[in-house]
Amino acid sequence: MARVTLQTIADRLGVSRATVSYAFSRPDQLSDGLRRRIMEVADELGYAGPNPTARSLRLGRAGALGLLFSETLAYAFADPYSIGFFQGLATAAEDAGVGLLILPLPHGDRRSETVRDAVVDAFCVMSLPDGHPALAEVLARKLPVVMVDEPYVPGHPFVGTDEPAAAATAARHVLGLGHRRIGVAMVGLHDDGHTGWASPERQEGAVFEAMRRRCGGYRQACEEAGIDWSGVPFYEVARNSREAGKKAGHALLGRDPRPTAILTNTDVLALGVLDAAADLGLEVPGELSVVGFSDSAAEEAGLTTIRQAKQEMGAAAGRLLLSGGAAEPERLVFPHELIVRASTAPPAQA
């Protein structure tokens, strides 16, 4: 059966191809009767409308923003920080009448054809590791690009948090309470699937820039307090999940001497550490203080954390993309805030 086109319908009705095209793209240019006849014939012939890809090429725009995200789609819609950011970005896109195409790249996925084939007008690159081939593909497309969290690419707009300062704020909080036996649980240093103890060398060599810088903030605050960083137990997990946080918590709390405070780089991990403390019968904050990060799933659990402006960051990224990146400063660093709740207190006296 021959493929039905706009010209097929035009020939059937004895009108021009442009007239049929107007019925789908500019209906206000036709009388109601003529447009109705065109749509009836289109329906009769099984024609659903112009090819959207061909139409976007003809118009020079796709009507969609691409979000390149270094995780699975399932994770994207379950992680509290991601959800907050997506809400801000989606609101900006919606207000402008454009769509949002999420392009997931789970950890270890080094493909770049996802980017090459994406029909979008701009890219939001969120949390890609150093040297990922998809980033080179994004830049080769010559479309507006905004980087979020990591990596920072000079010459392109960036939206994020002052990671070292935010992490140092969290560490100084427990240090100021008098804690000196500190433990750290982190996710997002590498994309090699490793779970276990992370040496200072592995921390410094992290391929995710934001987490490398966050780790540096913890270290700086501890060293300022006279703590030898090489002696700080540091447990790395491959996935940001409550179960992974629980595993990290058991590992850290199984040490002798046991940490009196544990810093985590996500609220989800912190909740898992609280689960581990409950398993061991440890009172929080009497025997253990715990600090999260992002203030995404913390309030109900009474978790002390660092609040990030998730939705505001998403909205700013969308605004930058829609303006071609020219309407804002090149580097937008959003403020962070320490939110003190019931999971931190001075250490118990010996």
Please write the tens of the pLDDT for every residue from 183-231: 999 999 998 999 999 999 999 999 999 999 999 999 999 999 999 999 9
pLDDT reported for residue 78:
86
Residue 54: pLDDT over 60: no
pLDDT reported for residue 327:
52
pLDDT reported for residue 70:
84
Does residue 115 contact residue 92 with C-beta atoms inside 8 Å? no
**pLDDT band at residue 312 under the 50/70/90 scheme:** very high
Strand, helix or coil for residue 293: coil
- Name, of 60-64, 171-175, 323-327, the range with top average pLDDT: 171-175
Please name the fold of domain 6-50.
434 Repressor (Amino-terminal Domain) (1.10.260)
Q: What is the token pair recorded at 91?
A: 């609101």
Residue 5: pLDDT over 70: yes
**pLDDT band at residue 75 under the 50/70/90 scheme:** confident
pLDDT reported for residue 328:
55
Mean of pLDDT values over 38-58: 70
pLDDT reported for residue 25:
75
Q: Which CATH superfamily is domain 163-309 in?
A: Response regulator (3.40.50.2300)
Torsion, Cα 87 311 120 52, to 10 degrees, reads 30
Residue 53: pLDDT over 50: no
Q: What is the token pair recorded at 53?
A: 């890809």
pLDDT reported for residue 4:
83
pLDDT reported for residue 301:
93
* Mean pLDDT lowest among 44-53, 207-216, 337-346: 44-53
Measured between alpha carbons, how far is 219 from 18 in angstroms, rounded to an integer? 66
Q: Look at 349 and 307; give whichever has higher pLDDT.
A: 307
pLDDT reported for residue 150:
93
Residue 51: pLDDT over 60: no
Q: Look at 333 and 155; give whichever has higher pLDDT.
A: 333
**pLDDT band at residue 58 under the 50/70/90 scheme:** very low
Domain 64-160+311-333's class? alpha beta
CATH 3.40.50.2300 boundaries in the chain: 64-160+311-333, 163-309
User: By percentage, how much of the chain surpasses pLDDT 70?
Assistant: 94
Helix axes 209-224, 163-176, angle to 10 degrees: 30
Residue 60: pLDDT over 50: no
CATH 1.10.260.40 boundaries in the chain: 6-50
Question: How far is CA 106 from each of CA 70, 125, 185, 191, 192, rounded to the nearest angstrom?
Answer: 5, 14, 21, 9, 11
Which residues have CB under 8 Å from 240's CB, separation 6+? 75, 79, 187, 188, 266, 268, 269
93-125 confidence digits (pLDDT tens): 988 888 999 998 887 777 777 788 788 999 999
Residue 80: pLDDT over 50: yes
Mean of pLDDT values over 172-178: 98
pLDDT reported for residue 57:
39
Mean of pLDDT values over 15-26: 85
pLDDT reported for residue 3:
76
Measured between alpha carbons, how far is 275 from 280 in angstroms, rounded to an integer? 9
Which residues have CB under 8 Å from 166's CB, separation 6+? 214, 217, 293, 306, 308, 336
